[in-house]
Amino acid sequence: MSNREKDRIRRWLKQNLKSVPLPTSIKEARANLEGLSSWVPLPPDTRVEAVIAGGVPGEWVGAPGAASDHVILCLHGGGYTMGSSKATQVNASFLSAASGCRVLVIDYRLAPENPFPAALEDTIAAYRWLLEQGISHSRIVLVGFSAGGGLALSALVSLRDTHVALPAGGVLISPWTDLAGTGESVVTRAEADPWLTDEMNRFHAALYANGRDLRHPLISPLYADMQGLPPLLIHVGSDEIMLDDSKRVAERAKSAGVEVTLEVWEGLWHVFHAFAYRLAEGKQAIEQIGEFIRKKLG
């Protein structure tokens, strides 16, 4: 992929996402995000099936040949206030093809109607449901995009603390792990980031936390004890304000004895994986995630 194409996407993000004012309502914001996701067609032969997983609605997404007993539990992004399984179908199909696993994308409850801990409760319920279906914990990997990446990490901490068998690994893609926004990159990457602003993040963080401490370890898992967590793969772009959310989590997890691989993708932005259909680096990143999952699931 040429640098010209990368620059074209960067300009589009700035013009259509970063430079527009905050939406006047959550309903408008959700509709805008769903509209963006509808631009990319689902790869042919992808199987999509509605499911209720432990009381949580969602979708099974599977590429041709995906193993039924190897599962990615996928958590969408959207600042805990937006996003859906439908909006994540294409990314889930890419993950399924790269890993050879079925992907369960859940529609966890969203703020402000359902603030913390609703999303976390739904994630735990869906994971427990997978175990009840006879799928071994060693055949499950959690994958989360953006807010979903922070949610995946919070879920791992919560599962450990409640003595539930942990999945084989976690993949955190541009994870939002510090809703208090204390990382230096919030300032140092403000101009470079073509997508996100601190104002946007604070807006969504306030709705999700609903008056609770933004440094609560299950709201911002950067502040959690990470001992005993399974292996983690973290992907982040060098040009995003949440770069330090990933770097500091990786440092804390390594200090706690967790196996961590941090990949900082130079010159790229928040969840660039969503552009894998036209961005070579996005495709390469998805393939790397697939390789990680295949290794961890045997």
The string of DSSP letters for 247-271 reads: HHHHHHHHHTT--EEEEEETT--TT
DSSP string, 26-40: HHHHHHHHHHHHTTS
Cα distance from N-terminal residue to C-terminal residue, the chain = 32
* Best CA proximity match to 73, nearest among 34, 47, 99, 39: 99
Give the tens place of pLDDT for each residue, 66-103: 999 999 999 999 999 999 999 999 999 999 999 999 99
Over its C-alpha atoms, the chain yields an Rg (Å, rounded) of 17
CA 60 – CA 214 distance, rounded (Å): 32
Predicted pLDDT of residue 269: 96
Report residue 6: phi and psi, to 5°: -60, -45
* Cβ-count burial 37-54 (b if 16+ within 10 Å, e if not): beebeeeeebebeebebb
How does the average pLDDT of the chain come out, rounded? 95
* Residue 3: pLDDT band with limits 50, 70, 90: confident
Predicted pLDDT of residue 2: 59
**DSSP, res 50:** E
Catalytic residue among 121, 204, 235, 240: 240
Predicted pLDDT of residue 28: 85
Predicted pLDDT of residue 57: 98
Q: Which residue has 């869906």 as its token pair? A: 126
Give the tens place of pLDDT for each residue, 167-182: 999 999 999 999 999 9
Residue 270 falls in the annotated catalytic set: yes
- pTM (two decimals): 0.96
Predicted pLDDT of residue 16: 77
Q: Which residue has 């996003």 as its token pair? A: 83
- 115, pLDDT greater than 50: yes
CA 282 – CA 98 distance, rounded (Å): 12
User: What percent of the chain lies above the pLDDT cut of 90?
Assistant: 85
Q: What is the mean pLDDT of residues 282-295?
A: 98
Residue 146 falls in the annotated catalytic set: yes
Residue type, 135: I
In DSSP terms, which residues pair with 109 in a beta bridge?
Answer: none
CA 238 – CA 256 distance, rounded (Å): 25
Catalytic residue among 85, 99, 146, 174: 146
All residues at 6 or more sequence positions from 71 whose CB lies less than 8 Å from its CB, including other chains: 101, 102, 103, 104, 130, 135, 139, 140, 141
Predicted pLDDT of residue 196: 94
In DSSP terms, which residues pair with 145 in a beta bridge?
Answer: 173
Predicted pLDDT of residue 19: 66
* Cβ-count burial 2-29 (b if 16+ within 10 Å, e if not): eeeebeebbeebeeebeeeeebeebeeb
User: What percent of the chain lies above the pLDDT cut of 70?
Assistant: 98
* Residue 265: pLDDT band with limits 50, 70, 90: very high
Q: Which two tokens stand for residue 74?
A: 């996928």
**Cα torsion angle, 263, 266, 272, 277, sign:** negative
Phi-psi region of 83 (alpha: psi -120 to 50; beta: other; left: phi over 0): left
Say if strands 56-62 and 47-53 run parallel, antiparallel, or are unpaired: antiparallel
Domains of the chain, with CATH numbers? 3-297 (3.40.50.1820)
* Residue 40: pLDDT band with limits 50, 70, 90: confident
CB atoms within 10 A of CB 200: 17
Angle at Cα 215 formed by Cα 209 and Cα 219, nearest 5°?
Answer: 45
Predicted pLDDT of residue 34: 84
Catalytic residue among 204, 235, 270, 273: 270
> Which element (helix H / strand E) includes 101?
strand 101-106
Residue 240 falls in the annotated catalytic set: yes
* Residue 1: pLDDT band with limits 50, 70, 90: very low
Q: Which two tokens stand for residue 33?
A: 């995000």
